[in-house]
């Protein structure tokens, strides 16, 4: 009788798991359809208002001077043996110093860390990477090549290729997601973890499912599951949507922030206007839901989480919940006037907070 009861419990538990999985994927695909429908309606609306401008899409042939500014560091390339991919990065600071590795978000590239490349080179070998499929880094054509496992292994292999076994790992937005996962899977590689505007991945997935407001703010995660349409929508009106992410009142850097110059914006347009340049970045998202939920959660690395409260894409409540999953020293600082683009928006404050964390953690170890 006891055995029968145990068998029933096992069957029921498996059934609950399958029902939850079915509900999860039903939500994903339903919301994908809604987001796609809204995007198409917006496209038709813009075509009706300005039909001659809707499909203008100018490829920038020459990089703006700021991308070759020698004060930012040296442009370098490294080829990973296992994948065969060539990665582009910009490095500042002397070789042999401790490594600070910077991982950008979407839709960004190494240049989003320009203020940090200058700031931390006095004590670190600072490396701002173009992630797989971004900028001058190779981008495989198939979405299967952008699994979270592949993205994590990229960073591990790059550390090896650079001659390091560990680093201060810093990530913003999607780069923050990857940084969390590296700290979870390979804690020995990360001496200190610094995250900007991205919660612990488990917090994010659970919070999205429980809070419709965050589900709406995360609509792009679902919209990006569609083939070709997201790339098309980002490019119409000469990348107007892309530009508005950084400069609009709704999602861009605020009045009190360090606003992007025309040359900064041209740097982004130069990178993302190249043929096929949007597909790799969006492919990062196209494998996300098949990799969640995580099997491992705990972070044992000293962690600094910085958050811009005016973030249009991430609700600040997730920042405090993240504390539950960090089993080491954890410091959270919320900047009340900062946007999602934190390291560009408030570079001086962000740099100061990072320095404080690095020195504070060093003092704690000596004590």
> Which residues are marked as active site?
173, 285, 340
Task: Identify the three-state secondary structure at position 330.
Answer: strand
Query: Looking at the DSSP assignment, which residues form a beta bridge with residue 335?
Result: 308
What is the DSSP track for 153-221? HHHHHHHHHHT-S-EEEEEETHHHHHHHHHHHH-GGGEEEEEEES---HHHHHHHHHH-HHHHHHTHHH
Give whole-number Cα distances, 313 to 193, 251, 309, in Å.
22, 8, 10
The residue behind tokens 């429980």 is 210
Task: Identify the three-state secondary structure at position 332.
Answer: strand
Q: Which residues contact 169 (CB under 8 A, 6 or more apart)?
A: 101, 103, 155, 179, 182, 183, 189, 190, 192, 193, 194
Give whole-number Cα distances, 345 to 3, 167, 254, 294, in Å.
61, 25, 8, 31
Spatial contact of 78 and 159, defined as CB atoms under 8 Å apart:
no
Backbone φ, ψ for residue 333 (5° rounding): -130, 125
């Amino acid at each position: 009788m006891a055995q029968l009861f145990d068998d029933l419990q096992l069957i029921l538990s498996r059934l609950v798991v399958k029902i939850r999985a079915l509900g999860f994927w039903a939500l994903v695909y339903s919301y994908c359809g809604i987001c796609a429908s809204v995007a198409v309606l917006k496209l038709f609306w813009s075509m009706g208002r300005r039909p001659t401008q809707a499909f203008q899409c100018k490829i920038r042939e020459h990089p703006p001077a700021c991308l070759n500014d020698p004060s930012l560091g040296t442009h370098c390339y490294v080829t990973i043996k296992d994948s065969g991919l060539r990665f582009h990065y910009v490095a500042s600071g002397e070789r042999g110093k401790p490594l600070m590795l910077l991982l950008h978000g979407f839709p960004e590239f190494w240049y989003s860390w320009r203020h940090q490349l200058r700031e931390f080179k006095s004590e670190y070998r600072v490396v701002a990477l173009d992630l797989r499929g971004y900028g001058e880094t190779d981008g495989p054509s198939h979405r299967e090549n952008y699994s979270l496992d592949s993205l994590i292994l990229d960073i591990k292999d790059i550390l090896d290729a650079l001659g390091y076994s560990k680093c201060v790992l810093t990530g913003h937005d999607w780069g923050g997601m990857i940084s969390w996962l590296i700290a979870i899977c390979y804690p020995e590689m990360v001496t200190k973890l610094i995250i900007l505007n991205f919660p612990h991945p488990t917090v994010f997935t659970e919070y999205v499912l429980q809070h419709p407001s965050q589900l709406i703010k995360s609509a792009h995660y679902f919209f990006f599951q569609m083939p070709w349409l997201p790339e098309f929508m980002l490019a119409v009106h000469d990348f107007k949507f892309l530009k508005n992410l950084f400069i609009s009142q709704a999602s861009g850097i605020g009045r009190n922030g360090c606003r992007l110059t025309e040359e900064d914006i041209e740097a982004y347009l130069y990178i993302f206007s190249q043929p096929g340049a949007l597909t790799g970045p969006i492919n990062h998202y196209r494998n996300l839901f098949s990799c969640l939920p995580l099997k491992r959660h705990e972070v044992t690395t000293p962690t600094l989480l910085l958050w811009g409260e005016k973030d249009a894409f991430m609700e600040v409540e997730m920042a405090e919940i993240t504390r539950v999953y960090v089993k080491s020293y954890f410091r959270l600082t919320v900047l009340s006037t900062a946007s999602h683009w934190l390291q560009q928006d408030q570079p001086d404050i962000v740099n100061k907070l990072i320095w404080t964390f690095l020195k504070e953690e060093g003092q704690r170890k000596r004590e």
